Amino acid sequence: MSDKWIDLTGRNALVTGAAAGIGRATALALAERGAEVLLLDRDGAGAELAAAAIADAGGKASARAIDVTSQQEWDGLGDWVAEKWGRIDIHVNCAGIARFDRVDDAMFDTYREVFAINVEGSLLGMAMALRFMREAGAGAIVNVSSTASLKGNPGMASYGASKAAIAHFTRSAALECNRAGTDIRVNSVMPGFTETAMAQQIYDQFDAKMGGREATMKVFSSGRSARPEEIADLIVYLASDRASFISGSVIACDRAQSA
């Protein structure tokens, strides 16, 4: 065993939403611990930039543009993995969007968009990763949910429901993997408010409606927001062998916001 507490040397990892925010920080953190990372995002140029930052730091990374809602694009990616890697050790579903809506007649456009990306996108990713992991009998999947999944979410109803769905699919997939006798672990993290482009978009909306950033932070009562790296550290841990007995767990990383 390596003397590093977490050593991912020789592991192949896919990360969606890797052009920005938590996904980008996760890709960097996985590579820093030795994994070879394929950064996936519909912002292909952003994913390329993040992959270049990893390479500059001496890590192994490449990038690919993908819309996570497209079955066809996942199939194409599956062909790439079969040809280049032959297996997937780690898969992180981080791509996601937040939209403001409430439960009424007008919500269906936001609901469909949010569920297509947050839920179906994660399911398509899991399905593809599981195809390879079942063949190998092992692997680790981490799905990014949110503390918004824990309670009603007035003003972002579809978003909260989509993140609750991700948590539930995580538990079911973990049980299925256990019952099939594999060593595939499936977990989920629930970040609290984290400083990213998505957070800025939410601040802007709340600023307009609720009188400024300070008022917004009171709503999300953790005292401060997270740095993306703080969420990435938990994802890396769950993806590593250090978390060998953790599966089917949905873990908050929110500095007591949901306590």
Ligand X SMILES: NC(=O)c1ccc[n+]([C@@H]2O[C@H](COP(=O)([O-])OP(=O)(O)OC[C@H]3O[C@@H](n4cnc5c(N)ncnc54)[C@H](O)[C@@H]3O)[C@@H](O)[C@H]2O)c1
Q: Which residues bind ligand X (CB under 6 A)?
A: 16-17, 19-23, 41-43, 46, 66-69, 94-98, 117, 121, 144, 146, 191, 193-194, 196-199
Q: How far is the CB of 10 from ligand X (least distance, A)?
A: 27
Q: How far is the CB of 25 from ligand X (least distance, A)?
A: 8
**DSSP 8-state secondary structure symbol assigned to residue 116:** I
Query: For the CA atoms of the chain, what is the radius of gyration?
Result: 18
Q: How far is the CB of 181 from ligand X (least distance, A)?
A: 31
Q: CB-wise, 49 or 136, nearer to ligand X?
A: 49
Q: Which residue has the tokens 């408010």?
A: 193
Q: CB-wise, 32 or 229, nearer to ligand X?
A: 229
The catalytic residue among 111, 159, 203, 237 is 159
Torsion on CA atoms 82, 234, 189, 1, rounded to nearest 10: 50
Q: How far does CA 74 lie from the centroid of its chain? A: 16
Pairing state between β 138-144 and 90-93: parallel
H or E element in which residue 237 lies: helix 228-239
H or E element in which residue 61 lies: strand 60-65
- Residue 197 Rama label (left phi>0; alpha psi -120 to 50; beta): alpha
Strands (E), 74-226: 90-93, 138-144, 183-191
4 three-class SS: coil
159 is catalytic: yes
Q: CB-wise, 21 or 59, nearer to ligand X?
A: 21
Q: How far is the CB of 182 from ligand X (least distance, A)?
A: 26
State how far the Cα of 183 lies from the Cα of 158, in Å rounded to an integer. 33
Q: CB-wise, 7 or 195, nearer to ligand X?
A: 195
Q: How far is the CB of 95 from ligand X (least distance, A)?
A: 4
Q: CB-wise, 59 or 121, nearer to ligand X?
A: 121
Show which residues are catalytic: 159
